[in-house]
Amino acid sequence: MATQQKGSSIDPKSGFCSKTKTFHSLRPKSQFPPQTTPLSLTHYLLSHLHHSPPLPSTPALLDAATAHHILYPEFIFRVRTLAASLQSQLGLSHGQCAFVLSPNSLHLPILHLSLLFLGVIVSPSNPASSSPEISHQIRICRPAVAFATSATAQKIPNSLRLGTILLDSAEFESMMMTCPSSTESLRVEVRQSDTATILYSSGTTGRVKGVELTHRNWISMMAGIHAVRNQSAPHAVCLCTVPFFHVYGFAYCLRVLVTGDTLAWMGRFDLKLMMRSIERFRIAHMACAPPAVVALVKHGDINEMDGYDLSSLQVIGCGGAPLAKSVVEKLRKRLRNVQVSQGYGMTETTARVFGALGPEETRVEGANGRLMSDIEAKIVEPGTGSALPPLMQGEIWVRGPYVMKGYTGDEEATAAIFDSEGWLKTGDICYIDNEGFLYFVDRIKELIKYKGYQVAPAELEDLLHSHPDIVDAAVIPYPDEEAGQVPMAFVVRSLGSAIDESQIKDFIAKQVAPYKKIRRVTFIGAIPKNAQGKVLRKELIKLALSKL
């Protein structure tokens, strides 16, 4: 056990070390490859499939809407063939970046793994993003090539050196299926410390930043899955209802494939398709954002849900934002034998660093699980930096092999989120109880979580301030049962202006992705601020809630 190795100062229930004031994971340690061994996350994943091969008849990828699937032997063939084609036909090479703009599809896992095989950095983005948002992300990651669909390609600038490849084209299909004459040049040496992905996050505040996650970060995450997995567990079909461009979807995709299970997915979320898929494909595990779980518990009459055979479902994993206790209670009443597994993590931590595993942990009400393998955590008093014991609320800091390399091209933001000992400051107020369970309390950071997506108030405020009829503005989270939170704007109109709520909503909607739209507007005489000019958001939140 980890506690026996670390000594008597480690509490065997919470993992708290009274000497260092640090919480340690009590889960089994992962078996890591040596850090100096050249290894891409694709090679790591394929090596697991080589040593513990799924049956050749096992689907690797499954489209829940069409039932179209790819078996593991063909999946591996396509990954290797596409990598060779990308290298020989496009000249893609180690260290370059590929921007990916596509909804979930059968092609994406193959594309991502092929690019990573070559040491090419993968930078996926939300296809619903606006052209200005995409241009900003492209300035961050500086890609050599883009991969898009016919529906999203027009958002990509024409300035990329290798242009844009359409994923729904015959050309791309051929690149996956036609093996180049020579694959000798595929012997690419990728260091584990190399950047594997650039995902987009607002960090603790401000505009969107590019989060650099290394091959080692992703390998550590996959090794952590093997450390806690029941090796005798039967093959499972796993349904991903979250987008692959999000760290949650990207990580879930790798987690399923590295264990040789079947990755089924949906494009846009569709409740009836989800329930039909559970019944048709005998789904055992499902990854959801909170709105999907809310939709499930609010779905018509309970007898209508009884019309579907959901008996295969064992676990619903939920992440991206906290799930309300009332929703969990309703779900447990409707699906009594299903474990609701919540977790806590960030883009900056390669998805979850706390998670509820197994029937005992998932029964703990309101908790986000325990520390994952190889991760350390501290609860720190904001302002003083003092580490706190169990049951005390403070900012949670984490450290370990899952934690990002930094923000692309932003040394200032990177320096701000790390302390001198490598602890990542999450900006979230939490506490850890005497059993090692994490409880989320509130955010120090001012992000709004709309259906699991991060919305930075500062970004919307900048846009509002650019309107000639607006003198001042502030954006806050407003509670919403379905979405979790929606952006609400407090606006100070310029003298004599008659701008109304619908005009403000339209002004913002034209410039941002749908999930960032302002959903409510209140006009106010002045924005409350402190002596330093910082918006007093808590006052605005109280004002908004008083109108409920």
Residue type, 159: S
CA 128, CA 103: separation in Å to the nearest integer?
9
User: What is the residue range of 500's domain?
Assistant: 448-546
Q: Is the distance from CB of 426 to CB of 395 less than 8 angstroms?
A: yes
Tell me, yes or no, whether 249 lies in a domain. no
Residue 413 is classified by DSSP as H
pLDDT in tens, 19-38: 999 999 999 999 999 999 99
Q: Looking at residue 204, what is its pLDDT?
A: 53
Is the sign of the CA dihedral 29, 361, 250, 109 positive or negative? Answer: positive
Q: Looking at residue 236, what is its pLDDT?
A: 96
Q: Is the distance from CB of 457 to CB of 475 less than 8 angstroms?
A: yes
Joined together, the tokens standing for residue 547 give 């109108």
Tell me, yes or no, whether 454 lies in a domain. yes
Is the sign of the CA dihedral 247, 252, 253, 257 positive or negative? Answer: positive
For the chain, give percent helix, strand, coil, nearest 5: 30, 25, 40
Q: Looking at residue 4, what is its pLDDT?
A: 41
CA 442, CA 426: separation in Å to the nearest integer?
11
Q: Is the distance from CB of 149 to CB of 160 less than 8 angstroms?
A: no
Tell me, yes or no, whether 391 lies in a domain. no
Write a three-state SS string for 87-125.
Answer: HHHHCCCCCCEEEEECCCCCHHHHHHHHHHHCCCEEEEE
- Number of domains observed in the structure of the chain: 2
- The H-or-E segment that residue 340 falls in is strand 339-346
The residue written with tokens 């091209």 in the block is 409
Tell me, yes or no, whether 14 lies in a domain. no
- Does pTM surpass 0.75? yes
CA 19, CA 55: separation in Å to the nearest integer?
49
Q: What is the CATH number of the domain that holds 85?
A: 3.40.50.12780
Complete DSSP assignment for 157-211: -TT-TT-EEETTSHHHHHHHHS--S--GGG-----TTSEEEEEEE-TTSSS-EEE
CA 346, CA 213: separation in Å to the nearest integer?
12
How far apart, in Å, are the Cα atoms of 30 and each of 229, 233, 380, 386?
11, 18, 27, 30
β-pair partners for 351:
346
Tell me, yes or no, whether 212 lies in a domain. yes
CA 96, CA 324: separation in Å to the nearest integer?
42
Tell me, yes or no, whether 330 lies in a domain. no
Q: Looking at residue 481, what is its pLDDT?
A: 86
Q: pLDDT (tens digit, 0 to 9) for every residue of the chain, 548 residues total?
A: 343 444 468 999 999 999 999 999 999 999 999 999 999 999 999 999 999 899 999 999 999 999 999 999 999 999 999 999 999 999 999 999 999 999 999 999 999 999 999 999 999 999 989 999 999 999 999 999 999 999 999 999 998 989 999 999 999 999 999 887 655 557 789 999 999 999 998 655 567 899 999 999 999 999 999 898 887 788 999 999 999 999 999 999 999 999 999 999 998 888 889 999 999 999 999 999 887 887 888 665 445 566 789 999 999 999 877 777 778 888 888 888 999 999 999 999 998 999 999 999 999 988 999 999 999 999 999 888 899 999 999 999 999 999 999 999 999 999 999 999 999 999 998 999 999 999 988 777 777 889 888 788 888 988 998 899 998 899 999 999 889 999 999 999 989 999 999 999 999 999 999 999 999 999 999 999 865 567 888 899 999 988 76
β-pair partners for 124:
100
Tell me, yes or no, whether 136 lies in a domain. yes
Tell me, yes or no, whether 358 lies in a domain. no
* Spacing of C-alpha 352 from chain mean position: 9
Q: What is the CATH number of the domain that holds 530?
A: 3.30.300.30
